[in-house]
Structure 1
Amino acid sequence: MERTEYSELPQRGWPDGERIRADETFETKKDAEVWLSQVEADLSRGDWRAPDVGAVNFRIYAEKWVEERELAVRTVDLYKHLLRLHILPAFGTLDLDEITAPRVREWRAERLRTTKAKTTVAKAYRLLKGIFETAVDDDLVSRNPCRIKGAGKESAAERRIATVAQVDALADSIGIRWRLMVYLGAYGPMRPEELAGLRRRDVDLDNLVISVRVAEPERTNGKRAPGETKSDAGVRAVVLPAFLRKEARQHLAWFAEKGPDGLIFVGEKGAPFRRTSFGRKWRRARAAAGLPDGFRFYDLRHTGHTLSTRSGATLKDTMVRAGQSSEKAALIYQHSDEERQRDVAAGLDDMVRAERSKHHSGDRAHHSEEPTGS
């Protein structure tokens, strides 16, 4: 018997008054009517999707997804990097509705097996999941194919803490032009992009206060991207411990650019410092200070947090000092004003001076015990 194909819906009312072609053919009119009844049931529940609605190329959708979001420039760089190296090679030629949960599981397993980089794969998975969350909201797919529990979580290693002696060793080894940057990273504690944006007008030597107003992160193309701090709390006044007065005065006199808008930190040739060139100096200084390879400049902030807490600072005090914020913290923790920040800086000053004194006393005792020879 000749097969009859009923590929279009019978004459019924459809969304937007369109006549929708089914994505399959039927041998009999009865089969078509059964299918049609199922579609009508989906319509009544609000679950119906046109057969070709998910036929949107993933690459095009993902790149547009990044463009449409208000993201920090470093985040844009990260997302484009993750798409280019990890996501688009697997899914770039597919439509949204062709990317299934099994395909996502296979992709993640392959990335983990090939790269051995759990943290990077977790970031890539979170990005993929976020893109599909929007696709679900846009009614382009009915369900997010990223359903692996815990796949987007990063198991960060415990943050390292440097001792006062190690911070001093880092500052001594990195060179006189950059030693203040090490101290501000630890005892500010300021982010690298905040240090990059500091200018002379931001430094009040009389009161030992640095005003953090902007951030200037360096993009992957090497260009600086002046902009706002990481959060509103990032705009703050940092009271420095008194032992940094001499360091700050000398640095301003010897290395900072002239004029109120002059950058505080510039390279030997007068250009703003670069992550690549500074990174080489950092690695050499880190080795000289006896710190492990994994110790990052950013870990100096954790050192500052820890020392401030030990000197009597509350959690809110350290949050204000470091420019950290969250809605939950804003509701829970009480205000920390500048006077309290001066108390924290004074406690930090006392602690560092005491640690230095013990360290130097130990050196003297060690040398006095060495044999003089005969």
Structure 2
Amino acid sequence: MAGAKRRRRFGNVRKLPSARWQARYLGSDGVMRTAPQTFATERQAEKWLTVVESEILRGEWVPPEAGEIRLSDYGDRWIRERRLAPRTRQLYEYLFALHIRPHLGHIALAAIKPATIRSWRGKLLNGGTPEPQAVKAYCLLRAVLNTAVREDEILRQNPCRIKGYDRFHTPERPTATIAQVYALADAMPARFAALIIVAALSGLRWGELAALRRCDVDLDAATVRVPRKLAALKDRLEFGPPKSAAGVRVVALPAAAVEALREHLAEHVEDGPEALIFTGAKGAPLRSGNFGRAVKWTKTVASLGLSGFHFHDLRHTGNTLAAASGASTRELMHRMGHGTMRAALIYQHATDERDREIARAMDRRITGEGRRRP
């Protein structure tokens, strides 16, 4: 019929008694919804429906009410439902409670924009939050909102996409020489001397060393197996799998570490395959804080010219030695228990720098010899 109104393919519009126009549509979830606002003209209502239809066709549409979920509720559920190591869970709970919920918890997910993130980060830093803590909080928030985008499809985009917010400058940590390692071992009570040497020559982490048992060490094969770690939680110590799947490994030990372990096992470790190798004076599992106080760590390392040196820095000695010995990136990743190349490349870069220093020293000698030639 001439003049008949064309029926829309998607959604419908109608004129209200107020003379404004209302738009309605069927979402991809099968629920009929009404536009959150009315329109002055029929044409405006139809344009709005066209935009919604294109979002549905591109797979970008999300139920509008989903974005009304508050970040505090969503973040709490995210942490609760993720499969996390106990220590990681406690860290996330701490970061969320201290740095995220007080500032952003009341905001609906859909209302969080990049400008919101910039303002939040500025408040953290201006309020005295150390930059490393601000970066960790940002990375946690980004992970939470990534789930809202990719899995739950609540958001179209993650507002945590600001360049540079996920990293901070870390001063280069000191690396002890072999002479300093042995001097530090000699300065320790006898039951901790081997701990220092093995930490420096194996590259194992504190939690991996603290969890080692007799059954994990094969002195004849000169290897140590890393099947677990010991995590210090707020209220308890807990044995669990290493930091990542790559952390489960067998590491070959140099003869010096084997000899230190052999003496230590004979003098300080109980019999039985399940006996812990490194324990406190009373045979209890090691806690880093108690260990530090028992050996007067800060004072001891300062007396050896290693002020500010951390136990974890011993790991750098072994990794640097391995890199300098020609270990490939994959081999370094295996020894370190890393699943990515980033950390291994750092040690190889350090070795490259040392190689250039050697070349420069050779140039100086060559030049000096050349000048003395007749």
Q: Would you say same fold, with TM above 0.5?
A: yes
Q: Note the C-alpha offset of 1:255.
A: 2.2
Match of 1:87 among 100, 122, 141: 100
What residue in structure 1 maps to residue 273 of structure 2? Answer: 260
Which letter does structure 1 place at the counterpart of 2:219?
L
TM-superposition CA deviations, 1:180-237 (whole Å, max 9, x none): 1111110112111111111112223344432222222222x14233222234443333
Q: How many residues align?
A: 326
Match of 1:128 among 138, 141, 147: 141
What residue in structure 2 maps to residue 251 of structure 1? Answer: 264
| Counterparts in 2 of 1:6 and 1:203: CA distance versus 1, 3 Å | same
Which letter does structure 2 place at the counterpart of 1:285?
T
What residue in structure 2 maps to residue 171 of structure 1? Answer: 185
Task: Kindly report which structure 2 residues correspond to 1:225-304, keeping only aligned pairs within 5 A, or say none.
Answer: 225-280=238-293, 281=295, 282-293=297-308, 295-304=309-318
Distance across 2 between alignment mates of 1:140 and 1:36: 20
TM-superposition CA deviations, 1:230-282 (whole Å, max 9, x none): 34443333333333455323322332233211111111222111121123333
Q: Note the C-alpha offset of 1:117.
A: 1.7
Whether 1:187 and 2:211 are equivalent positions in the alignment is no
CA RMSD of aligned residues (A): 3.0
CA contact (8 A) 1:166 1:289 kept: yes
Task: Extract unaligned runs of 5+ from structure 2.
Answer: 1-15, 345-374
Task: Extract unaligned runs of 5+ from structure 1.
Answer: 331-374
Match of 1:322 among 336, 339, 343: 336
CA contact (8 A) 1:209 1:239 kept: yes
Match of 1:100 among 113, 124, 127: 113
CA contact (8 A) 1:4 1:27 kept: no
What residue in structure 1 maps to residue 321 of structure 2? Answer: 307
What residue in structure 2 maps to residue 151 of structure 1? Answer: 165
Whether 1:198 and 2:186 are equivalent positions in the alignment is no
What residue in structure 1 maps to residue 371 of structure 2? Answer: none
| Counterparts in 2 of 1:118 and 1:329: CA distance versus 1, 3 Å | closer
Q: Note the C-alpha offset of 1:145.
A: 1.5
Distance across 2 between alignment mates of 1:242 and 1:100: 57
Which letter does structure 1 place at the counterpart of 2:72?
R
CA contact (8 A) 1:196 1:217 kept: no
What residue in structure 2 maps to residue 341 of structure 1? Answer: none
What residue in structure 1 maps to residue 90 of structure 2? Answer: 77
TM-superposition CA deviations, 1:306-364 (whole Å, max 9, x none): 2233345444444443334448999xxxxxxxxxxxxxxxxxxxxxxxxxxxxxxxxxx
Distance across 2 between alignment mates of 1:48 and 1:323: 41
Which letter does structure 1 place at the counterpart of 2:270?
E
Whether 1:117 and 2:130 are equivalent positions in the alignment is yes
Task: Kindly report which structure 2 residues correspond to 1:29-48, keeping only aligned pairs within 5 A, or say none.
Answer: 32-48=45-61
TM-score, length basis structure 1: 0.77
CA contact (8 A) 1:257 1:266 kept: no
TM-score, length basis structure 2: 0.77
Distance across 2 between alignment mates of 1:311 and 1:328: 19
CA contact (8 A) 2:333 2:339 kept: yes
Three-state SS of the structure 2 residue aligned to 1:177 is helix
Q: Note the C-alpha offset of 1:153.
A: 1.8
Distance across 2 between alignment mates of 1:36 and 1:235: 54
Distance across 1 between alignment mates of 2:34 and 2:197: 68
Which letter does structure 1 place at the counterpart of 2:230?
E
Larger strand proportion of the pair: 2
Distance across 1 between alignment mates of 2:45 and 2:199: 70
Match of 1:19 among 23, 32, 40: 32
CA contact (8 A) 1:199 1:262 kept: yes
Q: Note the C-alpha offset of 1:27.
A: 5.4
CA contact (8 A) 2:333 2:340 kept: no
Q: Extract structure 1 runs of 4+ deviating beyond 6 A.
A: 327-330
CA contact (8 A) 1:9 1:36 kept: yes
**Percentage identity across paired residues of the two chains:** 41
CA contact (8 A) 1:216 1:227 kept: yes
